[in-house]
């Protein structure tokens, strides 16, 4: 691929678009192990989520997808970088955050079994966010809860059920209902269907899409199911060891995956028809495992598993470059650094 020098290294951070609902700038989260060593869970991620889009975050476990969501939600304090929500800086200290932010940004966790309080019934679970954010006056809470239950297509009888008495798919629906209580504008979906069967997954995803259309909520969907991602997200970001590898619109990335890691991920998807088989990159085969985020390899962090690595990958970390309009890849194969190095 030939590239003009002007196209290269266009920083995505500097664009301040009205449409952007959430922007992360050089976002970092390290977890300390001891005084000198850190787990580099998220290592300088810059990305923006536009209003009304479904951004997919993909990567293996240990790539930092959930850490991004949890840190934005305030479960951890960010080590560095900025979180900007609707043009305003968000403090990493949760006590200093505004109620408005807490109301507008919600999360649905991966495992509904452990994210719902087993000692409360559905009514108690759903009434807390309504009371905290004063969505409705106290005497209307029950009415509002029924409205929300209807929205997630659960029957009235669920009001006094405890989470242990209902099935996995229904628990996840309650978790979604809880996130919807405060009329949020932005929801993190942290692998909402990975612990469920395909038939239930289809139901929940369809419900989420229905709510997305009705309420115009922006989603950030974290998943490792690339086939699912293909069908619902509008933009996809691939993460590896806390860094972005590739980010682009869904069509572009599925038509032409450029980063060797994206190709490896795509080649590993089990598919059910010949038609899909033909869409997978053929020559790449998955090898190796994701290295420990404590000792990240020097140079490009993917060099331990990459089939196309060249000398420069061993000592120099590539930048995120715009290879096609809106299609960013962090790989030396697609950057000018290579040619500069040769000169």
Partner 1 sequence: MINKKTVNNRISQIGNNNKYNKVNKNAILEIKDLMVWYKTYRGSSKVLDGVNMHINVGEKVGLVGESGCGKTTTMKMVLQLLNPIQIQIPKGEIIFNKKDILKMNKIDLMDIRRKHVSMISQEPMVALNPVYSIGQQFQDIIKYSGQYPRASNEEINELSKKAIENVMIPDADRILKSYPYQLSGGMRQRVCIAMSLVTSRDLLIADEPGTALDVTIQDQIHRLLKNLVEKKAVSLIMITHSLGVARELVDRIYVMYAGNIVETSTTKNIFERPSHPYTKGLMRCVPKLSGGGIWEGIYGYVPDYNNPPQGCRFSPRCPDAKEVCSINKPPTYEIAEGHYVACFNFSNTVKRL
Binding positions for partner 1, rule: CB under 8 A: 60-61, 167, 169, 197-203, 205-206, 209, 224-228, 230-232, 254, 264-265, 267-273, 275-276, 279-280, 285-287, 289-290
DSSP 219-261: EEEEES-HHHHHHH-SEEEEEETTEEEEEEEHHHHHH---SHH
Question: 3-class DSSP state for residue 78?
Answer: coil
Residue whose CB is less far from partner 1, 136 or 200: 200
- Specify the residue, 128 or 294, whose C-beta has the smaller distance to partner 1: 294
**Cα 300 from Cα 120, distance rounded (Å):** 48
Taking the least distance from each CB to partner 1, the nearer of 216 and 231 is 231
The rounded distance, in Å, linking the Cα atoms of 330 and 337 is 11
Residue 195, Cβ density class (10 Å: 0-12 exposed, 13-18 middle, ≥19 buried): middle
Residue 114 vs 117, nearer CB to partner 1:
114
- Rounded to the nearest whole angstrom, what is the least distance from the CB of residue 203 to partner 1 in the complex? 4
Q: Residue 4 Cβ, how far from partner 1 at the closest point, in Å? A: 31
Least CB distance from residue 57 to partner 1, whole Å? 14
In the bound complex, what is the minimum distance in angstroms from residue 343's beta carbon to partner 1? Answer: 36
CB of 19 closer than 8 Å to CB of 234: no
Least CB distance to partner 1 at residue 314 (A)? 20
Nearest to 45 by CA among 12, 88, 94: 12
Task: Write down the least CB distance from residue 173 to partner 1, Å.
Answer: 12
- Residue 141 or 209: the one with the smaller Cβ distance to partner 1 is 209
Closer of 74 and 192 to partner 1 (Cβ): 192
| Residue 241 burial by Cβ neighbours in a 10 Å radius (0-12, 13-18, 19+) | buried
User: Min. distance of Cβ 6 from partner 1 in angstroms?
Assistant: 33
Residue ranges of alpha helices (H) inside the chain are 65-73, 99-104, 112-115, 122-132, 141-151, 168-180, 198-215, 226-232, 250-255, 260-267, 274-277, 337-342
Q: Which is nearer to partner 1, 150 or 289 (CB)?
A: 289
């Amino acid at each position: 691929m030939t590239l003009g020098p002007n196209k290269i290294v266009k920083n995505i951070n500097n664009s301040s678009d009205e449409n952007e609902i959430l922007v992360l700038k050089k976002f970092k989260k390290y977890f300390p192990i001891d005084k000198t060593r850190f787990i580099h869970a998220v290592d300088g991620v810059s990305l923006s989520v536009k209003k009304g889009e479904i951004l997919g975050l993909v990567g293996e476990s240990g790539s930092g997808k959930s850490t991004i969501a949890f840190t934005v939600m305030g479960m951890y304090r960010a080590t560095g970088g900025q979180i900007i929500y609707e043009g305003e800086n968000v403090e990493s200290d949760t006590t200093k955050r505004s109620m408005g932010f807490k109301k507008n940004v919600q999360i649905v966790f991966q495992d509904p079994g452990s994210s719902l309080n087993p000692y409360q019934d559905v009514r108690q679970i759903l009434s807390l966010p309504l009371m905290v954010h004063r969505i409705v006056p106290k005497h209307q809470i029950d009415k509002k809860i029924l409205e929300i239950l209807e929205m997630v297509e659960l029957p009235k009888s669920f009001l006094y059920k405890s989470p242990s008495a209902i099935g996995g798919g229904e628990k996840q629906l309650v978790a979604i209902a809880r996130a919807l209580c405060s009329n949020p504008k932005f929801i993190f979906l942290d692998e909402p269907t990975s612990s469920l069967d395909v038939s239930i997954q289809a139901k929940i995803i369809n419900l989420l899409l229905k709510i997305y259309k009705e309420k115009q909520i922006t989603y950030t969907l974290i998943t490792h199911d690339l086939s699912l991602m293909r069908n619902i997200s509008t933009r996809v970001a691939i993460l590896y060891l806390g860094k972005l590898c590739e980010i682009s619109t869904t069509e572009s990335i599925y038509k032409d995956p450029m980063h060797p890691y994206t190709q490896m991920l795509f080649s590993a998807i089990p598919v059910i028809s010949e038609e899909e088989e033909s869409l997978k990159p053929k020559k790449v085969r998955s090898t190796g495992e994701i290295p420990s985020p404590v000792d990240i390899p020097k140079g490009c962090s993917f060099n331990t598993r990459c089939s196309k690595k060249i000398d420069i990958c061993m000592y120099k970390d590539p930048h995120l470059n715009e290879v096609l309009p809106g299609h960013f890849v962090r790989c030396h194969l697609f950057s000018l650094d290579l040619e500069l190095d040769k000169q």
